[in-house]
Amino acid sequence: MKLSTFGLAAGIALGALLAAGPAMAQVTLKIWSIDGVDRPGIADTFSKEFDEQNEDIVVEYRGIPFDDLVNETLRAFATGNAPDIVSFDNPDFAMFSSRGAMLDITDRIANSQVIKAENYFPGPLNSVTWDGKYFGIPKYTDTIGVFYNKDLFAKAGITEPPKTWEQVAEYAEKLTDPANNVYGVTFSARAGEEGTFQFLPLIQMSGGDYSNVNTEGAVAALELWKKIIDNGWASKDVLSLGQWDSTGTFNSGNAAMAISGPWEVDRMVEDAKFDWGVALLPTLTDGGTRSSALGGFDWGIMSTTKHPDEAFRALEYFASQDNRIFEEFGSIPPRSDIPLPETGIALKDAALKVFQEQLQYAQPRGPHPEWQKISKAIYDAMQKALTGQMPAKDALDEAQATIKGIVG
Amino acid sequence: MAKFFNSLRDGVGFDLILVGAAMLFLLALAGLPLVYNVLMSFQQVDMFTLGQLIRPFAGFTNYAAVVAQPEFWLVTRNTLIFVVGSMTGQFVLGFALALFFAQKFPGAATIRGLFLVSWVMPGLVVGAIWSWILAGDFGVLNSVLRGLGIIQSNIFWKSDPSFSIWAVIIANIWLGLAFNMLLLSVGLAAIPRDLYEAAELDGANAWQRFWTITLPMMRSTIGAVLSLGLIGTLQQFDLFPALTEGGPANTSNVAGYWSWQLSFQLYDFAKGATVSVMMFVLVLFASILYVRSTRHEVRG
């Protein structure tokens, strides 16, 4: 008797489980990004919310350190274990979309009520575009401009921030004060992506781009940078300093100008004990073509996903929350239709307005599937010229030859 | 059949099993990756075919492409400077310290132990610390050198092409010093004291004792220290990303870092594998020299 009661109970339980199964047919979405590894970020927060709001979808979020993300995803894709949604740094995106690893979502975007291509800044949108099709959507963005120390400017009798690179050199000379350990300007020309990030805009301003780097204007700009370093208006260590460390010297009053981006603003508000402002990245000639580097991450659905509809719904949810990413995570939304809210900190608000204006001129690195090799050719040439190992013209010609071999 | 099983339990078969297990272990953990690496250097490897074994055969094109890279000879030269510079510094200073602490004075053993601090520190941490010390404008080393009147203006250790490789070498010498000193101390301790006493009675001075007793008795230790030093130096990786990233313009790039850069930064896995195979051949050559030099060693 007892046994049969148990059997009955077990039978009912099993039946209930079987019956419930189809009703709760859950779709599992694997989402990977760098957020949430050390502190909460955009991807982990929004993924969790999306998971909670959708009964039929289970989200498995995985945070991967920045340096491992591309390698890990490559490996997972090669062995058939790729995630459904992944978020990459924008220059890495083309490598995946050009090789059919990302899902073409052009038609889905066209039919979407939430995601509209025209709302995005052209630069970030370009980084998810390959062959005229959309393979993802921008997640957030940033760019670079000139921070300048207004107190030091006033002391040197300079009233306006520099408009051209010639002026940067001219002001830097006036502002350099070796007795007080003050350099005129600081930037990052290091042997890595940051070096390309800061120098490529000058190539673009001269009418060139990543596949056409040895323009006359770029040669002149590189010679000007060399002059700034050779004359001691900038520290020789800009060749090994990253942007964060380089701007640190600005914050401590040891440099009068710094080229960097909005990620510096919060620290600067805390550390800088002087009045400062931000100006658009100078151009090569007065009123000349504007450009600046484009930073930030993109979202994409991997082509191996079994649930493209659900994955796209997730992207729609993420995009619908874009108006929160500035206040909650300090990142700039990649969209022109979202006004940045006032923070009440005057210096910060003024700075972010300039960066938002600068974003209209920001141009992506690439997009090209072999971006990393192109980038190395560019920063190697830049460093060869700046250290005097080669004339600027020859260094850029060599880079051009290398890049031609890659781009074809 | 029974004889076969008996031999497994207590005969020649047992020895073979032991050797076989070790060989299998070596093959699986060291041999296969090595073969895979060599194989990869002869194939066209693509970012997305990383998981496959069968890929288009490339012949020697990867090798030709690596040699044709504009930075190839620069990297080769840097690797030689880095290996010779680091090993010389680590060995000479390590030996000097080992001899110094072999003298009997209060606290000798304790202070010697403290030197190990440098050895237990991760390379990345050492790199970050030296990065501050070697900084051009506000670095400690420059201010010390200026204070001593050795230099007039700051040396930009990490950014000046003529110093960048030396910046990494200085940090690497500091990192490997304690290990060299420790091994050499052990070798020194193994030399019987009475040899020195007898020599002293015969009127040999300190230099003669060092030259005729210490050095010959230390031959095998020195051989081991140098070959381990070579391997350790070629393996050194952490200091490069922490200090110079191979820059400026590859003037501090060495084969090991270049191979990593090609594989995991530029995603050119075939070239990365090719560079590491070239390094392997170099180490193989060095180990053959080492084995030959110690073959006829007489042990006291």
Higher per-residue confidence, A15 vs A374: A374
Indicate if ipTM > 0.95: no
Q: H or E stretch including B25?
A: helix B12-26
Nearest-Å Rg of the Cα atoms of chain B is 24
pLDDT value of position B299: 52
What is the pLDDT confidence band of residue A71, given thresholds at 50, 70 and 90? confident
CA distance B255 to B232: 13
Cis peptide before B106 (omega within 30 of 0): no
Q: What is the DSSP track for A298-324?
A: EEEEBTT-S-HHHHHHHHHHHHHTGGG
From the list A99, A237, A249, which residue is nearest B48 (CB)? A99
Q: Does the pLDDT of residue B292 top 80, yes or no?
A: no
Residues in chain A, overall count = 408
Q: Does the pLDDT of residue A15 top 60, yes or no?
A: no
CA distance B112 to B102: 9
What is the pLDDT confidence band of residue A342, given thresholds at 50, 70 and 90? confident
Q: Does the pLDDT of residue A11 top 80, yes or no?
A: no
CB contact under 8 A, A239 and B265: no
Residue carrying structure tokens 């419930």? A20
CA distance A179 to B159: 22
Q: Which A residues, 140 through 179, put their C-beta within 8 Å of a C-beta on chain B?
A: none
CB contact under 8 A, A383 and B268: no
Residue carrying structure tokens 């008996």? B6
Q: Does the pLDDT of residue A21 top 50, yes or no?
A: no
- B155-192 per-position pLDDT tens digit: 999 999 999 999 999 999 999 999 999 999 999 998 99
pLDDT value of position A132: 93
Residues 6+ positions from B163 with CB-CB distance below 8 Å: B155, B156, B157
β-strand partners of A28: A58
CA distance A227 to A234: 9
Residues in chain B, overall count = 300
What is the arithmetic mean of pLDDT over A179-194?
94
Closest chain A residue to the Cα of B136, Cα to Cα: A237
What is the arithmetic mean of pLDDT over A191-217?
95
CB contact under 8 A, B245 and A373: no
What is the arithmetic mean of pLDDT over A190-205?
94
- A289-299 per-position pLDDT tens digit: 999 999 999 99
CB contact under 8 A, B48 and A74: yes
Question: Helices marked H in B190-218 — which ranges?
Answer: 193-201, 206-209, 215-217
Higher per-residue confidence, A399 vs B56: A399
- B111-165 per-position pLDDT tens digit: 888 888 888 888 889 999 999 999 988 899 999 999 999 998 899 999 999 999 9
From the list A235, A380, A402, which residue is nearest B249 (CB)? A380
Q: Does the pLDDT of residue A250 top 70, yes or no?
A: yes
Q: Does the pLDDT of residue A325 top 50, yes or no?
A: yes
Q: Which residues from B are below 8 Å from A372, CB to CB?
A: 265-267
pLDDT value of position A24: 57
- A143-176 per-position pLDDT tens digit: 999 999 999 999 999 999 999 999 999 999 999 9
A–B interface: beta-carbon pairs under 8 A: 93
Q: Does the pLDDT of residue B103 top 90, yes or no?
A: no
From the list A79, A240, A376, which residue is nearest B158 (CB)? A240
Average pLDDT, chain A: 91
Output the six-digit token pair for B216: 């010959």
**pTM recorded for the entire structure:** 0.84
Relative to beta strand A292-293, strand A27-33 is unpaired
CB contact under 8 A, A191 and B250: yes
Above pLDDT 70, what percent of chain A?
94
Residue carrying structure tokens 């619908």? A320
**Cα distance from A279 to chain B (closest Cα, Å)?**
27
Q: For residue A120, give the nearest of A336, A339, A316 by alpha carbon.
A: A336
Range in A340-354, B41-55, B265-279, B285-299 with the lowest mean pLDDT: B285-299
pLDDT value of position B45: 85
pLDDT value of position B295: 67
From the list A77, A237, A380, which residue is nearest B158 (CB)? A237
**Cα distance from A226 to chain B (closest Cα, Å)?**
13
**Cα distance from A375 to chain B (closest Cα, Å)?**
9
Which among A73, A180, A199, A239 is the top mutation candidate for probing chain B, defined by the most B β-carbons within 10 Å of its own β-carbon?
A: A239
What is the arithmetic mean of pLDDT over B13-19?
86
CA distance B217 to B192: 10
Q: Which A residues, 357 through 386, put their C-beta within 8 Å of a C-beta on chain B?
A: 370, 372-373, 376, 379-380, 383-384, 386
CB contact under 8 A, B137 and A237: yes
**Cα distance from B158 to chain A (closest Cα, Å)?**
6
pLDDT value of position B293: 67
Q: Is A240 on the interface with B (CB under 8 A)?
A: yes
Residues 6+ positions from A295 with CB-CB distance below 8 Å: A90, A141, A142, A143, A144, A197, A261
CB A47 within 8 Å of CB A139: no
Q: Does the pLDDT of residue A99 top 60, yes or no?
A: yes
CA distance B50 to B40: 9
What is the pLDDT confidence band of residue A205, given thresholds at 50, 70 and 90? very high
Cis peptide before A367 (omega within 30 of 0): yes
Q: Is A246 on the interface with B (CB under 8 A)?
A: no
CA distance B290 to B275: 23
pLDDT value of position B300: 44
CA distance B277 to B258: 13
